[in-house]
Chains A and B, each alone.
Chain A
Amino acid sequence: EAQVTQNPRYLITVTGKKLTVTCSQNMNHEYMSWYRQDPGLGLRQIYYSMNVEVTDKGDVPEGYKVSRKEKRNFPLILESPSPNQTSLYFCASSLSFGGGWNEQYFGPGTRLTVT
């Protein structure tokens, strides 16, 4: 089954404790991205990657890191989480199309709470 998976689905942690949220897709998509979703603010792009070893900042990259060492995986790293990073996080992937990127497919989401 074609899918995007994320782990963990739920995470409660404390301020300053480094964490990684994993994302993997089995559709051979070049493009992968991380979003956070907050009430009233919608989905905002954190980082995106157009291929292995190619990453770029989205609209809200502060406090996050990513890496893309393999095509299928795109982990999101919070080196020192803070309470304002409490949010619902989605990973998404997309295939190239016509010189751009096609529609995105989303993972199930990770609900992160930082206390």
Chain B
Amino acid sequence: QKEVEQNSGPLSVPEGAIASLNCTYSDRGSQSFFWYRQYSGKSPELIMSIYSNGDKEDGRFTAQLNKASQYVSLLIRDSQPSDSATYLCAVRRRDQFYFGTGTSLTVIP
């Protein structure tokens, strides 16, 4: 069983819409949760970290964590073409980090 699972997509949304990205993790001992954005051929860049149950908002981005369901999500409001990228979900369990394979998002102008 994979530590972190994401729907690989591709997910397409029109410009200005809300994009919803989902991630599940297998180990209840996972302690910290992260969303990264990765453009093709580039390195992952952090969008948001979340450590406790509930929502965390930063600009157009909202991360949601539900530890009981072992579920993390990322909402992107007012999606822009520049948001087109692969979004990686990551979790930390003790001293190791585990990444999902990413969801490809395309925002259509």
Which positions in A face B, CB cutoff 8 Å?
31, 33, 35, 40-45, 48, 50, 56, 58-59, 90, 98, 100-109
Which residues of A have CB within 8 Å of B92? Answer: 100-101
Which positions in B face A, CB cutoff 8 Å?
31-32, 34, 41-46, 49, 51, 88, 90, 92, 94-102
B51 shortest CB reach to chain A, Å: 8
A113 shortest CB reach to chain B, Å: 14
Chain A interface SS verdict (over half): strand
Which residues of A have CB within 8 Å of B98? Answer: 45, 59
- Evaluate contact between B34 and A43: CB separation under 8 angstroms: no
**A40 to chain B: closest residue by CB:** B101
Which residues of B have CB within 8 Å of A58? Answer: 96
Which of A33, A40, A102, A108 is the one whose CB lies under 8 Å from B43? A108
- Evaluate contact between A101 and B32: CB separation under 8 angstroms: yes
- Evaluate contact between A45 and B43: CB separation under 8 angstroms: no
Q: A56-B95, A100-B32, A102-B49 are in contact. Are A42 and B88 (CB under 8 A)?
A: yes
Max count, chain A CB within 10 A of own CB: residue among B42, B43, B92, B98: B43
A75 shortest CB reach to chain B, Å: 18
Which residues of A have CB within 8 Å of B43? Answer: 90, 106-109
- Evaluate contact between A100 and B31: CB separation under 8 angstroms: yes
Q: A50-B95, A108-B43 are in contact. Are A42 and B49 (CB under 8 A)?
A: no
